[in-house]
Structure 1
Amino acid sequence: MKVYLPAIAGFVPSEMVQCIAAFLDACYIARRADITEGSLQELDAAIKKFHIHREVFRTSGVRPTGFNLPRQHSLAHLISQIQEFGAPGGLCSSITESRHITAVKRPWRRSNRYEALGQMLLTNQRLDKLIRARADFVARGMLPPTHAPPPKPILPSNDDDDVGIVDEYVTGNVTLARARERSYPRHLKDLAQHIHQPQLVELTQRFLYDQLQANNDTSSADIPLQQCPYPASKISVFHSAVATFYAPSDESGIRGMRTERIRSTPSWRKQGPRHDCALVVEDQAKAGMKGMSIVRVKLFFSFTHDAKTYPCAFIEWFKRIGAAPDSETGMWKVKPDTYRNGARITTVLHLDTFLRGAHLQPVFGRDLLPFDFHFSYSLDAFGAYYVSKYADHHSHEICF
């Protein structure tokens, strides 16, 4: 439904779109790991909005017999059940599926994938023994009941998965991939010529000036380019970066940490280029999308200046449309940020400003797409996009 929602906007009555959006909001809020009084108020508003707008299905003749559907009826009791029994945390009557995660899926991830059954059984046996030993140590007074295991060290990811769980104790950050790509020139001017982006040289110089003069009120835009330092070291180019962030409502590690890979590559699975979008934090004092912006990564690279390494990204900007989310879908709209001549505004940003990846969905309008439309140029073919807050639960919590 998160893909279906923006696709039907403009093709069906507005109340139908609002009904589906309200239903999705209710599902995502109820699925959160931690539910506060504010969350319950949001859930109550979403359920009421759903019950109001669903009447359009009756008045339009889509559902003439009423809404006596068991799953929809259970929404009316959801808030009282949460207040009485606590946050569902994604659990349902299928408790066997929850046990399947701890007994099968996680031991499978810890195996070497070859004849894994014996390894999985051994993992479960050892985990059970550790649990029993811990309970025995607490009973004997050798461990206090509130004693927690020591935090694990920060370990980089060894795989190339798009998303995954992280059991290590880490804080939210974005880091470049472990290995650089060796098919790119190592000098800045040659690299700019290689990727057909001549402005990369100037933007990198001004980026370096702003980094070195962080405590100065003077911006690189206010001085001549000749006064900006030139990074003379070798340039390393990467096709991806790994974002690690706290997302307990999604499938995550034991401390609620989750990883995803943000990609920027000229060839993705031999089907064309892939340049992912990301959320960057501009103002931490503002909540939600009002304090963040959407960028599209054209290149990940790093260089060294005065013995300090600068991981950064060459990006294109998107700007928000309006001062609030779209009234129908409940999602923010953005459009490419351009100069007066129509060229897209580009910048070099430090990876410290990145939060995580972002999922943009086109505002299709009323025109149908051609049959030969390819996904690789979807971020270039439309005038506006929805920032999908339904990509996952973490997106729903921050993209409001």
Structure 2
Amino acid sequence: MCKPEITRCPDGHFRRVIYGLGPYIADYMEQIVVTAIVQNWCNDLQDLYEGFNFRTREHARALAGVYSRKELWNHHGIISTITPFSDDFPRADIHELIAGDLLHQIIKGCFKEHLVDWVFAYILLEHGQTKGHEIWGQIDRRLAAVPTFPGLRPFHQGCDFKQWTGDDSKGLMKIFLPAVVDFIPPDMTRAIQYFMEFCYLVRRSIQTEDTVARITHCLERYHHYRQIFVTTGVRPDGFSSLPLQHSACHYPRHIRQFGAPNGLCSSITESKHIKAVKEPWRRSNKYKPLAQMLTTNQRTDKLAAARADFTERRMLQGTCLTEALQGFLSLALGEAEPDDSEDGPESEDQQGDGNIVEDGEDGDEDGAVEGPRVLGDVSLAKQPERTYPRTLPELGLHFGVPNLPSLVSSFLYDQTHPEPLTDGSPTPPCLPVQSIKVYHSAAATFYAPSDISGIGGMRRERIRATPSWFKGPARYDCVFAENDSTVEGFRGLHAARVRTFLSFKSGGVEYPCALIQWFSPVADEPDELTGLWVVEPDFDQDNRPFYGVIHLDSILRLAHLIPVFGNAILPPDFHQSESLDAFKTYYVNKYADHHAHEIAF
């Protein structure tokens, strides 16, 4: 194992960080050197120096003038040969300048390197090597069976990776709890649940005293329930020797001192360091490279500025020859200069089989978008499908929903009358409809500042309802539909699965809508163990899926449902496209992203 380094925590407490603990430790090298600490001293020194401010540079200098270098190291955790860069700043304390690192401390550290490994260790201790690996194989299959969701990393081979990235750890965190809940003790599930709540709360872009209080509460509950790892023999020596576990305790203070972390991690500055230092150094001849690096950065900045100017002047579109030919044709034909949107072959969004959304959408599953801030807006794809029937009865038979005309009739009644139909009322006659169109996708744009979003905090994702996704199995996504806007959380929402998107005209008004299958909660509260809502698909008296037609304005955004696996044994060839049809109940995954966590609690 590598030699330990003595460093000091941002709060002035002391601990020893050992570089051999995991790959994420390398990201702390600079922080360790300038701030850094002695293991297991944290609580002892807090009691020993109660009321004494031992974090000041004056105190460190006084100690350095009295003790030898070895005594400073052994008794005070001070490296006398290292001077922090902020030592000459009149009002700067290096220990007050170091903020938390969500990615490396919490996600890759506490979650992946600790909780996931501890769960695996518990399964092996409890069931033995042979049975334990069989159970972990089932967990891998459950991870692979999770339905597709934008931005969710697929785990087709489970979580057996040789090299984990930050995205892998984030993706596993989103779906880990439903996969392991049936194989671990209740207190272990609760420990993971409260840790997940802590992670998602500290990640929010807006922090209040209420959220900080909730963060503190989650930490307290997590510290209480994680004792199950001690009693089961996974961590017989406790957690005092784990710096990353201790780092979570500093986040309430970090938030009050620095504001919302909102994804802050050392990789942000590290990526800038690569562009500004590492790459220019590689381009130099390595002899007195500083002047060469500065010249490289200056020239790179000038090239970037020139490219932006040339792009604005449209000088990078086409060639000199094509520009001359366009000008000649415009003069010869007496027409205006062709518009850019009409040039060239059809764009990527105009190709394909109906998986198209409105202008401006790229080919990604989701992404940040600019625009005015709205709570939510859903729009149909740019082009309809052309292979479907054009009458409601035929369309209903095609989708296996023979009562589609009556569903549309009830929908039109609700749209044209202030009061909805009461239960048990006869279905009103269907108004004449024209121009029936079918779509395979829609675009949901919503306000989600805690996730990667554009100016104004807006984000866009596609909702799919297609019989073949990338020439493979069908994909019918789930959505959140508005139920009661006066009620917060999932109590004010419905979960539904989109069967198809429609639009038609009636009375001179065009109605964009969706044919959906309803899901209902199995209880009035979230599941006590996981903290997730559990829903089940609705069926009519003939045991057929209960469908409805709703306006697109009722849809908020995508929802992610994960099966409640229970004691089910998944076969090796089970495909994730079957998950939403093969189980009786489902978790509403509020950990799918940070916006879902804010609305599906």
Q: TM-score range by the shorter chain?
A: 0.7 to 0.9
Corresponding residue to 2:201 among 6, 9, 29: 29
- In structure 2, distance between residues paired with 1:328 and 1:123: 55
Equivalence map 1:1-400=2 (5 Å): 1-67=173-239, 68-96=241-269, 99=272, 122=304, 126=308, 156-171=359-374, 172-213=376-417, 215=418, 217=419, 219=421, 224-225=426-427, 227-400=428-601
- Aligned-partner Cα distance in 1 for 2:214–2:543: 40
- Conservation of the 8 A alpha-carbon contact between 1:209 and 1:220: no
Q: Unpaired runs of 5+ in structure 2?
A: 1-172, 277-299, 310-357
Asked whether the equivalents of residues 406 and 430 of structure 2 are also in contact (C-alpha less than 8 Å), the reply is no
8 A Cα contact 1:208 1:228, kept in partner: no
- Cα gap change, 1:121/1:342 in structure 2, threshold over 3 Å: closer, same or farther? farther
Structure 1 letter corresponding to 2:421: S
CA distance, structure 1, for counterparts of residue 543 and residue 208 of structure 2: 45
Distance 1:157 1:102 in 2: 30
* Count of aligned pairs between the two proteins: 357
Tell me the CA shift for residue 187 of structure 1: 2.1
* In 2: Cα distance, 1:344 partner to 1:119 partner: 60
* Cα distance in 1 for residues equivalent to 2:477 and 2:590: 16
Cα gap change, 1:124/1:262 in structure 2, threshold over 3 Å: closer, same or farther? farther
Q: 1:282 to 1:218 in 2, by over 3 A?
A: closer
Secondary structure at the counterpart of residue 2 of structure 1: helix
Q: Which amino acid aligns with 2:388?
A: Y
User: Offset of 1:223 from its aligned partner?
Assistant: 5.0
Indicate conservation of the 8 Å contact 2:194/2:222, yes or no. Answer: yes
Give, in angstroms, the shift of residue 40 of structure 1. Answer: 0.6
Contact between 1:187 and 1:234, CA under 8 Å: does it hold in 2? no
Which string of whole-angstrom CA distances, capped at 9 and with x for unpartnered residues, describes residues 5-61 of structure 1? 101112111111111111111111101111011111111111111111111011101
1:132-156 deviations in Å (ceiling 9; x for gaps): xxxxxxxxxxxxxxxxxxxxxxx84
Distance change (3 Å), C-alpha of 1:339 and 1:79? same
Aligned-pair distance for 1:101?
Answer: 13
Given that residues 210 and 220 in structure 1 are in contact (C-alpha distance below 8 angstroms), is that contact kept between their aligned partners in structure 2?
no
State the TM-score, normalized to the length of structure 2. 0.56
CA distance in 2, matches of 1:156, 1:102: 33
**1:119 and 1:282, CA in 2 relative to 1: closer, same or farther beyond 3 A?**
farther
Per-residue deviation at 1:2? Answer: 2.1
Structure-2 separation of matches of 1:374 and 1:297: 20
Does the CA-based 8 Å contact 1:206-1:220 persist in structure 2? no
Q: 1:347 to 1:85 in 2, by over 3 A?
A: same
Q: 1:218 to 1:75 in 2, by over 3 A?
A: closer
Distance (Å, rounded) in 2 between the aligned partners of 1:314 and 1:281? 15
The CA distance in 2 between the partners of 1:278 and 1:194, in whole Å, is 23
Supply the distance in 2 between the matched residues of 1:278 and 1:120 (Cα, whole angstroms): 47
C-alpha spacing 1:382/1:95, structure 2 compared with 1 (3 Å): same
User: In structure 2, what residue type is equivalent to 1:80?
Assistant: R
Counterparts of 1:120 and 1:306, CA distance in 2: 59
Aligned partner letter, 2:379: T
Asked which structure has the greater CA Rg, the reply is 2
- Aligned-residue CA RMSD (Å): 2.5
Contact kept, 8 Å, 2:377 with 2:444, in 1: the verdict is yes
Unaligned runs of 5+ in 1: 104-117, 128-154
Q: Tell me the CA shift for residue 99 of structure 1.
A: 4.9
- The superposition leaves residues 337-396 of structure 1 with CA deviations (integer Å, 9 ceiling, x where unpaired) of 222432221110111111100000011002211122121121111111100011000011
Higher share in helix: 2
Q: Deviations over 1:148-189 (max 9, x none)?
A: xxxxxxx84333432110112242211111111111122222
Judge conservation of contact 1:281–1:293 (CA < 8 Å) in 2: yes
Give secondary structure in 1 for the equivalent of 2:245.
helix
Q: Deviations over 1:242-296 (max 9, x none)?
A: 1111101100002100001111011112221111000011101111011101000
| TM-score normalised by the chain length of structure 1 | 0.83
**Could you tell me the percent identity over the aligned residues?**
47
Following TM superposition, by how much is the alpha carbon of 1:205 offset from its aligned partner in structure 2, in angstroms? 1.5
**Contact persistence 2:517–2:545 (CA under 8 A):** yes
1:122 partner letter: A
Q: What is the distance in 1 between the residues matched to 2:519 and 2:481?
A: 11
Distance 2:480 2:273 in 1: 34
Counterpart of 1:149? none
